[in-house]
Amino acid sequence: MRYIYRVAWLGIALVLAQHSAAQDAEILTKVDEALKAAASFEVGADSGPLQGIEKIVFQLPADSELRGPVEQKLLAALDSDATTDAKRFLCRQLRVIGTEKCVAPLAKLLTDPQLSHMARYALGRLESPAATEALLKALDQTSGDLLAGIIDTLGNRKCMGARDKLIELLRNSDATVAKAAAISLGRLGGGDSVAALQR
């Protein structure tokens, strides 16, 4: 009798596993189709495909095995010739589902005037040393509003490794940059920050 029960439970488990695999494949197919349609998206156009992607991204459980494949598909789309509006949308999704795998692709966008803000938005959430390093590196690759934005993100992350550079940027000729450096130093706190601000 016990053998019969074991066989029955094994059969049920197999059926459930097959059903789950079929569901996962269906979800990934939907992502592929939506990304293909979203690649040409511009503000004001049909946002249906984007909403479909967003729904999947936000509803995936934290322990879902689909998160990795979905992230990879988003990164592939980000590296394509998709429109700027589509790439901004992709960055927003990566803020939700992204892992350390998305640091390098997002870091490339930090110097892009059209995409830097959304790249910072995504990187700023990642609790990864690699994300911090990417932002620190971008301090020497940007200027003006882009630089001020990166400074702001580092301040929000309480990045102590940025302190010396922020102190240096207090003397930047761009008032927006200098102000951002002052605000971020205030967030970091500490004697060195206070002394620099007083000077």
| Cα gap 155→158, rounded to integer Å | 5
Residue range 4-19, pLDDT digits in tens? 555 445 544 444 444 4
Determine the pLDDT at residue 154.
97
Determine the pLDDT at residue 1.
57
Residue with tokens 């940027």: 169
Residue whose C-alpha is closest to residue 114's, from 27, 9, 43: 43
Determine the pLDDT at residue 22.
78
Residue with tokens 């690759």: 141
CB 94 within 8 A of CB 75: yes
Determine the pLDDT at residue 3.
56
Q: Which residues in the chain come in under a pLDDT of 70?
A: 1-21
Q: What are phi and psi of 109, to 5 degrees?
A: -90, -10
CB 89 within 8 A of CB 97: no
Determine the pLDDT at residue 14.
43
Determine the pLDDT at residue 190.
86
